[in-house]
A and B are shown apart, each in its own frame.
Chain A
Amino acid sequence: MAELENINPSVYKKTEERPLTENELNEDVVDPIDEREVFDLIRDINDPEHPLTLEELHVLEQSRVTVNNERGEVFVNFTPTIPHCSMATLIGLSIRVKLLRALPPRFKISVEITPGTHSSENAINKQLKDKERVAASLENSHLMQVVNECISITKQSQ
């Protein structure tokens, strides 16, 4: 593997598991999709460089996830560990792919860099927003292999 860009990233504690509520256990109640649920879908995505999750690196935080269940909108800000991180697009794509696969198709998913945390945030945001380019990436087997490795839970550190 190539040299690590960020040799010594700060590592943070994982969030506690969410206790299930009575309504969630009741099959007859329709639960709206909320911030915590979306965060749970993406927090365990692996960092492409480190054997750590995006949550542990504070790339993802629940407070940077916004959901409007009624309008079918999900908005995620992610914070690259360093402002020149060359993996930022790949990380954003992994978040997007994970949510595309996991959420019902009625949701419009926006994945953007936390403002002010990356030197090319506008260019990366534009790429991640371009659904045609995202669709083409999904057909690129080499790229999808890398993305799938990031998304897969089996390689996750314990």
Chain B
Amino acid sequence: MPQQLEVVQRLTAHKGKVWSASWHPSGKMFASCGEDKTIRIWSQDKNDWVMQTVLSDGHSRTIRDVAFSNCGMFLASTSFDATISIWDKKGNEFECNSTLEGHENEVKSVAWSVTGNFLATCSRDKSVWVWDIGANCEEFDCAAVLNAHTQDVKKVIWHPHLDILVSASYDNSIKMYKEDSVDNDWICTNTLQSHTSTVWSISFDKTGNRLISCSDDNTLKVWQKYDVNNEEGIVTPDNEPTWKCVCTLSGYHDRSIYDVSWCKLTGLIATACGDDNIRIFKETESSNKKNEPTFELETKILAHKQDVNCVKWNPVIPGLLISTSDDSDIKLWKFNVKK
């Protein structure tokens, strides 16, 4: 039987840990970053992925995360040097046009809101910052400093359609935020508690009504949104939707799970684990999707020689997955549906 997850290409330009990678919204390009303080831009040339540019003058320490804006015109990078750089993509050239300062130490993650209104960043300093994006991304004003977490914040992501922000932390919790329509203040609306150790990453499904989280406690958790006056009778305090953990996937991972990606095209879930493996999960067909969903392990593959740090599904090409590792490699994978 052919492998369900097959390596398409191995890319080896980085030195040291490759912490993160991010697809361009076109699916034809991606950026990677890591310990070597560089950002590398890769694009597809016929069938091969080739390095197009190295951006090496943006940061003085490890670059922890990169993210393309949804319009595809900008790239944000965050670093242990406590800054965020915004790169303008002009044709195939990238130019650093703004550096955002304010965090007290390492910036761990960055995310652009789908609406294009906001940028979010989070840091070891326990805070999440929301930045208001001015016209043409020329100005970034701090719209909020959210201090809801009690520890190091590892990850920020935005809802796939709305300006709802979610963060994950070393304090074992996940928090959600929105802008209060009355006074434009950002408020924490939900705290999702169930993990027993650091929550490393989170990912929405395509509807935005479900969220998956991965943790240092070696489990994945699926969270379901329950609206006000839901038919299940789930209590919704403060007239805000409630999020409940409806599924815990334990016993599948042997070490910390550093990243999780829920494919918006196929519904497949990929995880990056400290045991060097990539795993793919699929929702079971007979699953009661809303209240008690069940998921099964589709495949598991020894993907890298060291910890896998990041997995991301391509936003356009179904089944194309990228992974990055401590072993300096980036790998592209193709998921073949079982016949």
Which residues from chain A sit less than 8 Å from chain B, CB to CB? 105-106, 108, 126, 129-133, 135-136, 139
Contacts and interface: CB of A to CB of B under 8 A. Distances in A.
Contacts of B198: 126, 130
B205 interface: no
A84 B152 CA distance: 23
Interface in B191-232: 197-198, 216
Given A105-B327, A108-B255, A126-B197, A135 B62 contact: yes
Contacts, number: 39
Interface string B278-295: 000000000000000000
Contacts of A129: 216, 256
Given A105-B306, A105-B327, A106-B306, A136 B197 contact: no
B28 interface: no
A131 B62 contact: no
A135 B306 contact: no
Given A133-B152, A136-B62, A136-B80, A106 B305 contact: yes
Contacts of B118: none
B35 interface: yes
B17 interface: yes
B264 interface: no
A22 B243 CA distance: 63
Contact of A136 (B124, B216, B307): B124
Interface in B54-78: 61-62, 64
B106 A136 contact: yes
A135 B17 contact: yes
B274 A108 contact: yes
Contacts of B313: none
User: Binding site of B, secondary structure by majority: helix, strand, loop or mixed?
Assistant: loop
Given A106-B306, A126-B198, A129-B216, 9 more contacts: A105-B305, A105-B306, A126-B170, A131-B256, A132-B64, A135-B35, A135-B80, A136-B80, A139-B61
B253 interface: no
A135 B35 CA distance: 9
Interface string B70-90: 000000000010000000000
B170 A131 contact: no
A132 B327 contact: no
B61 A131 contact: no
Contacts of B105: 136
A126 B105 CA distance: 19
Contacts of A133: 124, 152
A141 to B, nearest CB: 11
Contacts of B326: 105
Contacts of B275: 108
A95 to B, nearest CB: 19
Contacts of A136: 62, 80, 105-106, 124
B326 to A, nearest CB: 8
A95 B146 CA distance: 36
Contacts of A139: 61-62, 80
B154 interface: yes
Contacts of A106: 305-306
By Cβ-Cβ distance, the 6 closest A-B pairs, closest first, are A136-B80, A139-B61, A136-B106, A139-B80, A105-B306, A139-B62
Nearest to B61: A139
B103 interface: no
Contacts of A130: 152, 170, 198, 216
B108 interface: yes
Nearest to B17: A135
A91 B108 CA distance: 26
Interface in B138-165: 152, 154
B305 A131 contact: no
B108 A132 contact: yes
A139 B307 CA distance: 19
A139 B80 CA distance: 9
A129 B255 CA distance: 11
Interface string B158-190: 000000000000100000000000000000000
Interface string B241-268: 0000000000000011000000000000
Nearest to B37: A139
